[in-house]
Chain A
Amino acid sequence: MTADHHPPRMGFFTDTSVCIGCKACEVACKEWNNIPEDGLNFTGMSYDNTEGLGADTWRHVAFIEQRKPLATQVAGAEEGDLRWLMASDVCKHCTHAACLDVCPTGALVRTEFGTVVVQEDVCNGCGYCIPACPYGVIDQRKDDGRAWKCTLCYDRLQVGMEPACAKACPTDSIQFGVLDELRERAATRVEKLHEAGVPDARLYGHDPDDGVGGDGAFFLLLDEPEVYGLPPDPVVTTRDLPSMWRHVGVAAITMAAGIVAAFACGRRP
């Protein structure tokens, strides 16, 4: 397929350095996608009461409190002052998507925008995609049985609108656009931050050569990915599948040969 046949690959660049933790993305996502309520919990994890991505949370704002000054600090701030990291997490829409690879029904598909979407009328709730995802994004909706995750607002994209979370984000922390353009913009942004004395700023999921072939939704982070609950070096599990099948084949032959030997070695009754 060439670019003439489908629109360019679309994605998110989530710049956590300007996230203010307002959770408008979470709310907009729930409202637009009509996602059911999944518990009104108090977790004690800073301002985060959503805990993580799942079947009914497609945008999740993480809050991290650190005893660490925030780069070139505002006058009056002292060493040891609190720094608050906020980051809106979302499905990464991987180039090599494990959920899509392992889905036995073909319910998970890649759209013309290069995004990964579950067809809810096909999914039979086998649950294979859930442990396959290296980021812990997709999950099963308990009362419904099927797997659900961010669609990158496939319905809105089809009519030329931006996803609800990006639309609602008041600081443009969530930027939606053509992935190649977002990557360029992100590279410029991280350079600017380094110049401004924020050496911790780094991109995450932007590299097409990483273990998942690059994310369709990538991030600018201010600390190590694991601090935000993200895997530092995710690899699509199916990368090893050819080798797994070979090992399965050899094991199957070993078992057959062993049982044949069990008959051949003994005396006849």
Chain B
Amino acid sequence: MSTSDVTREGLKGVQPGRDAMVGVPGGKRRRGGEQPVVPDAKFSSYYGKPVINQPVWKAPDIAGYFYLGGLAGASSVLGLGAHITDRPALAKSCKLGALGAISLGTVGLVHDLGKPSRFINMLRVFKPTSPMNIGSWLLSAYAPAAGVAAFAAATGRLPKVGAFATAGAAAFGPLVSSYTAALICDTAVPSWHEGFREMPFVFVGSSATAAAGLGMLAAPVAEAGPARRAAVAGAALELGASQLLERRIGKPLADPYHQGKSGMMMRVAEGLTLAGTIGGVVLGRRSRVAAAVCGAALMAASALTRFAIFEAGMASAQDPAHTVGPQRERLEQRSSAKQG
């Protein structure tokens, strides 16, 4: 409905659309209109659509890398310990394992890129606000060190350079194992982000059990003592931190960690971790076969944990209630704090 008049001088009394009043004919303002008394419609989302966009990362590449990077980083530390305490078989398997894991993991990272040919752009800037950028720099320092350490261990050449590289890889290793936790937590995915305090501890615990598993699998029983003890410490840290994480983030954000596909994977991973750790300590010091089986179980458990956490984030991103619920709660707390 228009209130304007057409005159010889042009339009008169034009009301631009932007000043139109809602529900008022002709844009004439009605003062003191009735306030609506109908209760608010019950909407919590827009047609059940997620608020945030789903991560486009693919599980085999990215969850796989979280596992492999963790395994590599912890293996390098275990390898240095074995190197210093003169456990040559354990040292060699840790160093080779670290190189293999980080190589495969890096292939996954590049493969996951939308433009793999532009991988090198990761090193175009140095940017502490981007865990992925810092991770790329870490990798470019860590991977060559792990490579030289593995080369020296495998060939017996360049022992001094090898020792130096072993120390270097062990220095960067713990960060390679843990930064990926910051990487996933530094997103708007609620079940990841809200767990940022505990996630790094889950990741390093899981990394340590994986590397311990590798040690138990690959090294003779006599040399694998530290690996068995690292498995106990890693499993305790991982399981404890996961419990804390789930308790802190509460419902509904913790649900994907024990419901659905991701919850199932998490349960199996916990079972394998416990079985592998206890089995490794009890039987692994006597039987080479038992040690190998328990070691493999621990490695599988660590991989499953990362895939479970990855899938939990996917489920969380998909659910508008995860995004809206906690934010709404926060707003209500803030407004009641203001009033009270």
Contact = CB atoms under 8 A, between A and B. Distances in A.
Same complex for A and B? Answer yes
Given A124-B121, A128-B130, A98 B197 contact: no
Nearest to A100: B129
A98 B188 contact: yes
Contacts of B330: 233
B46 A62 contact: yes
> Which range contains the number of B residues in contact with the other chain?
35 or more
B178 interface: yes
A252 B175 contact: yes
A226 B45 CA distance: 5
Interface of A: 15, 17-18, 43, 45, 48, 51-54, 62, 64, 66-75, 77, 79-80, 98, 101-107, 122-128, 130-140, 144-147, 170-173, 175, 189, 192-193, 195-201, 222-224, 226-234, 237-238, 240-241, 243-245, 247-256, 258-263, 265-269
A106 B124 contact: yes
Nearest to B46: A229
Given A247-B197, A262-B233, A266-B229, A45 B23 contact: no
B166 interface: no
Contact of A72 (B34, B119, B121, B211): B34
A74 B23 CA distance: 6
A10 B332 CA distance: 32
A136 B53 contact: yes
Contacts of B292: none
B75 to A, nearest CB: 10
Interface in B204-243: 204-205, 207-208, 211, 222-223, 225-227, 229-230, 233-234, 237
Given A62-B46, A68-B41, A101-B129, A269 B201 contact: no
Contacts of A247: 181-182, 196-197, 199-201
Contacts of B179: 248
B14 interface: no
Contact of B24 (A45, A68, A196, A269): A196
A187 to B, nearest CB: 14
Nearest to B222: A269
Interface in B47-64: 47, 49-57
B131 A266 contact: no
B228 to A, nearest CB: 8
Interface in B67-108: 73-74, 77-78, 81, 84-85, 87
Interface in B18-36: 18-25, 29-36
B160 to A, nearest CB: 22
Contacts of A234: 188, 327
Contacts of B177: 252, 255
B22 A231 contact: no
Given A131-B187, A237-B187, A197 B30 contact: yes
Interface stretch (B251-259, B264-272, B294-302, B316-324): B316-324
B298 to A, nearest CB: 14
A205 B319 CA distance: 22
